[in-house]
Structure 1
Amino acid sequence: MSVETHPESPGDHAAMQAMREMLAGLPTLEFAPQSRQAFNELMEQTPAADGVSFEAATVGTVAGWWCRPAASEKGAAILYFHGGAYVLGSAIAHRHFVSQIVKRASVPAFLPDYRLAPEHVFPAAVEDAQSAFAGLVETGYETIALAGDSAGGGLALSLLALVTAKATQGKGVMPRCAALMSPWTDLALTGGSMVTRADADPLVKRAELRKAADLYLKGGEPTDACASPLYQNLGGLPPLLVHVGEDEILLDDSRRVVEAATNAGGKAALHIWVGMTHVFPSNLSQLQAANEALDMVGAFIRRNLQVE
């Protein structure tokens, strides 16, 4: 297992201190439908990358948005899943953030608006992920990277395990790689960091994750392998890259997945960023670490998709 810990720069430390002080005076974000507008407005603050265009589209049966660089390799694409604990988030709100990856990778990305809970419960999101992947393949994309943040990172990993199992049996296209940021991989919330990092994490609270998991699963088992990819067979996966903040309660969701994939014979790399919190790469206007992490994600995707 490849693990690299990145120290916090003085500038990032000051920025994170200011953020923590600001958040201390605000109510905890609820993972509930009434929080959707506020969450979308927060994500839309990430600046769009220069030279990337946006286009509404439907891939498979799922509506969403394309983010397209000025030039790209024909037949290559990123399938990106937004975060929001399966209750919040949207393709349009995340498109600026994803454009930063697209710019660095020189590869277009499709962001599906997979169905959200509680209106649409598990396995609706997984079914939409499969439909979007199949749709990309049907329209000529066969060099595909998967990516996502938070719940979207978990969804990307669930999809990766499912399509890899099919591809190894000669039934479909094998993704080339997956890049995940602060993925939520265990809806049973059993990671030790749920406790050890609880005081350090100003953004995500275990009680709110439990509420979101209950809305999504609606009585289903949190250890169902399709809902929680930590419990998937992670053998035979293509290269996996994971970035996570050291100060988030989901730290062990990343650690354990990378360890499991490595123990199953795969190539997986974990980058832990000191002082950083949940999905810190979205704050690239203030954090050096965010820009460095996104540079690494872009280079990883280019390398595995063999984009010049």
Structure 2
Amino acid sequence: MSFEIHPEDERDRAVMLAMRDMLATLPALEFAPASRPVFEDLMRHTPVADGISFETGTVGAVSGVWCRPMAGAARAAILYLHGGAYVLGSAIGHRNFVSQIVQRAGAPAFIPDYRLAPEHGFPAAIDDALSVFTGLCDMGYDAIAIAGDSAGGGLALSLLALVAARARKGAGVMPRCAVLMSPWIDLALAGGSMLTRAEADPLVKRDELKKAADLYLKGTDPTDPRASPLYQPLGGLPPLLVHVGDDEILLDDSRRAVEAASSAGGEAALHIWEGMTHVFPSNLAQLQAARQAIDMVGAFIRQHL
């Protein structure tokens, strides 16, 4: 297990203080369909990377958006699963953020519009993610990285465990690596940081996560490993990179995932960023930490693809 704590940059401290002051005047974001336009607008504030083109497409019968660099390996691709607590988010909303990863990794990414709750409950999201992964393999991509943020990070780890197990049995392609940013991987909300970081986290509240989990699970046991990948052995996985803010209630989700993968003999690296909040890498326009983290993400994917 590789573990690193990144001290807060002085330039970032002023930005984060201003952000916290602003958020203190606003109601908490609700994980409900009515919040989808607000969430889309928030994600579109991430600047588009230079030299990246976008096109709509369908992979494995799931529609989404391709983010393509000017040049890249012909048989390499990134499967990116967006965040939004299984209720919010879209390929269009996340494409600017993903373009930054694509530019650095030098490989195209497909962002699927997997089905959202409450219209489509568990296991719709993981079923769609698996369909897309299988579709990429059928299209001839044999070097695939899986990545995601927040709920998309949890979905990415669930998918990774599923397809890696199949690949070890000789069925399908083994992903080359996976990147998780502020992943939500325990829908039972059992991490200690749910309490220890409750005051520090200005973005995500346990009560709202519980509402989102209920909308998605619709009565399914939250420890079902397809929904919460922590509740299964995490051995035999390809290299794993995790970035998380130190001020997140989801901090312990990242810690426990990396510890579990490492204890099972896997290669896993955890980067904790002091002063940072949920999915801070998307704020490349303002944060030094975001640019550094995305540089690391891009280099990691490029190395393994």
Same fold (TM over 0.5): yes
Q: Which residue of 2 aligns with 1:137?
A: 137
- Which 5+ residue runs of structure 1 have no aligned equivalent? none
Q: Which residue of 2 aligns with 1:282?
A: 282
- Please name the residue that 1:152 is paired with: 152
Describe the superposition over 1:211-270 as per-residue Cα deviations: whole angstroms up to 9, x where unpaired.
000000000000000000111221000000000000000000000000000000100000
Q: TM-score, normalised by structure 2?
A: 1.00
Aligned to 1:235: 235
Kindly indicate whether residue 176 of structure 2 is the aligned counterpart of residue 200 of structure 1: no
Q: Deviations over 1:139-189 (max 9, x none)?
A: 111100000000000000000000000000000000000001000000000
Aligned to 1:107: 107
TM-score when normalising by structure 1: 0.99
Query: What is the rounded CA distance, in whole Å, between the counterparts of 1:236 and 1:198 in structure 2?
Result: 33
Give the Cα separation in 1 of the matches to 2:45 and 2:94.
9
Q: Which residue in 1 is equivalent to 2:258? A: 258
Structure 2 spans left out of the alignment, 5+ residues: none
Per the TM alignment, residue 198 of structure 1 is displaced from its structure 2 partner at its CA by 0.2
Separation in 2 of the partners of 1:41 and 1:285?
Answer: 15
Match for residue 272 of structure 1? 272
**Structure 1 contact 83–148 (Cα < 8 Å) conserved:** yes
How many residues are paired up? 305
Instruction: Give the residue type in structure 2 aligned to 1:130.
Output: L
Q: SS of 1:270's equivalent?
A: strand
Structure 1 residue 17 corresponds to structure 2 residue 17:
yes
Structure 1 counterpart SS, 2:72: coil
Measure the CA separation in 2 of the matches of 1:261 and 1:120.
30
Which 4+ runs in 1 deviate beyond 2 A? none
Shift in Å, 1:53? 0.2
- CA contact 1:158–1:232 (8 Å) conserved in 2: no
Q: Which residue of 1 aligns with 2:59?
A: 59
Give the share of equivalent positions with the same residue, in percent. 74
Alpha-carbon distance between aligned partners in 1 of 2:219 and 2:257, rounded to the nearest angstrom: 24
Q: Structure 2: how far apart are the matches of 1:108 and 1:118? A: 30
Residues 238 and 266 in structure 1, CA contact (< 8 A), matched pair in contact too: yes
Partner amino acid, structure 2, of 1:266: G
- Contact 1:52–1:70, Cα closer than 8 Å, also in 2: yes
Quote the Cα distance in structure 2 between the aligned partners of 1:232 and 1:272. Answer: 24
State the distance in 2 between where 1:135 and 1:193 align: 37
Residue type of the alignment partner of 1:10: E
Q: Residue type of the partner of 1:172?
A: G
State the match for 2:7 in structure 1: 7
Q: Give the root-mean-square deviation of aligned CA atoms.
A: 0.4
Q: Distance in 1 between matches of 2:297 and 2:93?
A: 20
* Equivalent position SS for 2:230: helix
Q: Could you tell me which amino acid in structure 2 is paired with residue 44 of structure 1?
A: R
Secondary structure (helix, strand or coil) at the match of 2:104 reads helix
Question: What letter corresponds to residue 182 of structure 1 in structure 2?
Answer: S
Q: Which amino acid aligns with 1:40?
A: E
1:79 is paired with a residue whose SS is strand
Q: Distance in 2 between matches of 1:112 and 1:12?
A: 32
SS in 1 for 2:45: coil
Q: Is the 1:226–1:232 contact (alpha carbons within 8 Å) kept by the matching residues of 2?
A: no
Q: Return the letter of the residue paired with 2:156.
A: A
For residues 224 and 241 of structure 2, the distance between their equivalents in structure 1, rounded to whole angstroms, comes to: 23
User: d(CA) in 2 for partners of 1:297 and 1:110?
Assistant: 16
Report the alpha carbon displacement of residue 82 of structure 1 after superposing the two structures with TM: 0.2
AA aligned to 1:303 is: Q
SS at match of 1:71: coil
